[in-house]
Structure 1
């Protein structure tokens, strides 16, 4: 009986060791892509977006319950940290918010109150910048600019 228990214990330890080795040997993968709602909050709905070259997208979201806009810049392919930003500005009130730094997946969130107001917003990844002016202003046509610095 004692030898059966020793054999079973040894087999269990061997199986655990094998599983641990398999887990440790697995290649590391990048974090899955995120969404504007994961960055800003589930109550925020995407109302506009603009590509940042082929590197990612900056999203403008809005929460109708609190009247706030949120922006987030999300990389297409997460990886090593790179310089990124996201920003938002309300011309009528002068309110603004931004997030700038070195990130692996996204910059943001940046929130401002913007109910029934025009919004300027944008972001950058590495040296590619996108900005949108006069956005979500009913009949006013927005202006989009993407440039490299």
Structure 2
């Protein structure tokens, strides 16, 4: 089961990296004070995060009212466009969402229904890719991976 999750999460990240069936965006800009709540919505609370080196952070948020998770990759220092992505995957339902492209400050939001499910999520800024598998599961230990490509 762990192998399936690893393959699925890797597949989702690969699809984002090479141009899977996600929404393309040429560029996006935002105010320097971008937060997970401004990207995902005011009802979403940050439940987990992972640094993307020193370039930024991928945030996992949750809305208890609708049971949805949202992810966003937010740069530490917005500026010139950089290759960025964000993704989230629910292995139990095989549902995933993502966003990738060249952005000035953030990638996302990407939403999935996650109430009661483990989620795998991550993203990239430039050549630094991060992923978190089996996240926010009471019984399973999460696995974090950072790669420089």
State yes or no: 1:76 paired with 2:87: no
| Cα separation, 2, equivalents of 1:135 and 1:32 | 28
Distance 1:75 1:129 in 2: 13
Deviation at 1:139, TM superposition (A): 2.8
Correspondence for 2:42: 42
CA distance in structure 2 between the aligned counterparts of 1:136 and 1:31, rounded to whole angstroms? 30
- 8 A Cα contact 1:33 1:76, kept in partner: no
Higher share in helix = 1
Structure of higher RCO (CA pairs closer than 8 Å, 6+ residues apart): 2
Residue 134 (structure 1) shift:
0.3
Point out 4+ residue stretches in structure 1 off by more than 4 angstroms. none
Q: Which residue of 1 aligns with 2:90?
A: 90
Q: Judge conservation of contact 1:33–1:105 (CA < 8 Å) in 2.
A: no
What RMSD in Å do the two structures reach over aligned CA positions?
1.0
Partner of 1:60: 60
Query: Whose radius of gyration is greater, 1 or 2?
Result: 1
- The normalised TM-score by structure 1 is 0.79
Q: C-alpha distance in 2, partners of 1:32/1:54? A: 16
Shift of 1:140: 1.2
In the TM superposition, what is the alpha-carbon distance from 1:141 to its structure 2 partner? 0.8
SS at match of 1:69: strand
